[in-house]
Amino acid sequence: MTDPVSRTILLLDIERFSDRDDVEQAYLRRMLYDITDRTLERAGIDETRRLRADRGDSVMELIDANTPVTALLRALLTEVPAQLRAVNRMASRSAQIRLRGVVATGYVAVDDHDGWVGSDLNHACRLLDAGLLREALRERPDDFALCVSDALYAGVVRHDHVGIPAADFHPVTVDSKNGPLKAWLHGPLPGRAAGEAEGHQDHGDTGAGEAPGGSGDRPAPRVPPQGGPREDSPAPGGSRGAPAPGPVVNVHGGTFSGGLIGGNQYGGISGGHFSGDVTLGDGGDRTRGEGA
C-alpha cells in the first residue's frame, strides 16, 4: 500500500439509478462519464492528474492536491448544471439524469489491489449517501445538488472566491455510522432541514419584552368596567365608599384606554399608556392626550 497522500476527492452519483432497466442504466453511465470528463477538462484537470474508480451508479475521482480547488468548484457550479440541462431537454423521462455531488479534501492511500483507503474518503462517501443530500435533490427543480466537506468550506469556500459565493452554502449536519458529520450544502436547504434550523433559532423565545395582549403567548390583562370603583374594592383606610382626602391615581406599565373617570379614584390603574379624556377627582383636574 502507498503512503497516504493529500487529495481532492470528487464524488458524483446518479439519482434513482436502480429504478431503470439495463439499457437505461448503460445510457446513464455513459452520460455520467461524459459530464465528469467535460467538467474536469473545463477545470484544467487532465487524466494525468487524477485517478478514477467506477462504482456503478457513481464515479469517484482522486485529484492531485496541487490542482486549484477553486477551478474545480467553479466548473461544478456552472458546467455540470449546464450539461445536465442540455442532456435532459432531449431525453425521455426514463433517461433523465440527475446528480448528487460531494467535494472533500483529505489523505488517501492506494493499496496493492488499487483499492482506496482513508477515513476522509469514508466521510465523503457518507455525505454522498446522506438522506439530507438526497432530499435536497428531490426538492429542486434543477438536476444537481452539491455538498462540500467542512474542511473544504473552511479552507476555500468561506473566502468567497470569484464564482464561488460563500453565501450560497449552508451548514448542515448529517448522521452516519461514524457519528454526526458537519458539511455545507450549496443552494437552499430541503424543507425538513430548513424547518429544523428555524426551530433552533426560535427555541427559547418566551416573548419577553412584548406588551401584554400583543403577539406573544400571554393573554391581555383584564380591565374592570369603567364608570366608578369596583363594588368589591373598598376604599383604603375606611369603610366601603368612604373617600379619603384627595384623589390618588397610580399608573404603572401596560396600556390603558379610557374616556372619562368620575369621582375620587383610589388604588392603581395597570398600563403604561393611556389615551382619551381622563378626569381625576371630582372633575376639577382634566388631563387630555397621550401619557405614560
Express each pLDDT in 192-209 by its tens digit. 666 665 554 444 443 333
Give the mean model confidence (pLDDT) for residues 273-288.
49
Whether the predicted model's global pTM rises above the 0.85 cut: no
Which residue type is seen at 29?
R
Residue 115 burial by Cβ neighbours in a 10 Å radius (0-12, 13-18, 19+): exposed
Per residue in 129-172, pLDDT (tens digit) is 999 999 999 999 889 999 999 999 999 999 999 999 999 999 99
Report yes or no: 26 and 34 within 8 Å, Cβ to Cβ. Answer: no
pLDDT recorded at residue 277:
53
Q: What is the 3-state secondary structure (H, E, C) of the chain?
A: CCCCEEEEEEEEEECCHHHCCHHHHHHHHHHHHHHHHHHHHHCCCCHHHEEEEECCCEEEEEEECCCCHHHHHHHHHHHHHHHHHHHHCCCCHHHCCCEEEEEEEEEEEECCCCCEECHHHHHHHHHHHCHHHHHHHHHCCCCEEEEEEHHHHHHCHHHCCCCCCHHHEEEEEECCCCCCEEEEEECCCCHHHHHHHHHHHHCCCCCCCCCCCCCCCCCCCCCCCCCCCCCCCCCCCCCCCCCCCCCCCEEEEEEEECCCCCCCCCCEEEEEEEECEEEECCCCEEEECCEC
Reported as a pLDDT band with limits 50, 70 and 90, residue 218 is: very low
pLDDT recorded at residue 276:
53
Per residue in 236-264, pLDDT (tens digit) is 444 444 444 544 444 444 444 444 344 44
Q: Is the pLDDT of residue 231 over 60?
A: no
Strand partners, 287: 278
> Which residue in 172, 163, 167 sits closest to 77, CA to CA?
163
Per residue in 37-85, pLDDT (tens digit) is 999 999 999 999 999 998 889 999 999 999 999 999 999 999 999 999 9
Q: Is the pLDDT of residue 109 over 70?
A: yes
Q: Is the pLDDT of residue 265 over 50?
A: no
Q: What number of other Cβ atoms are within 10 A of residue 53's Cβ?
A: 15
The CATH code that applies to domain 5-194 is 3.30.70.1230
Report yes or no: 154 and 167 within 8 Å, Cβ to Cβ. Answer: no
Give ranges for CATH 3.30.70.1230 in the chain: 5-194
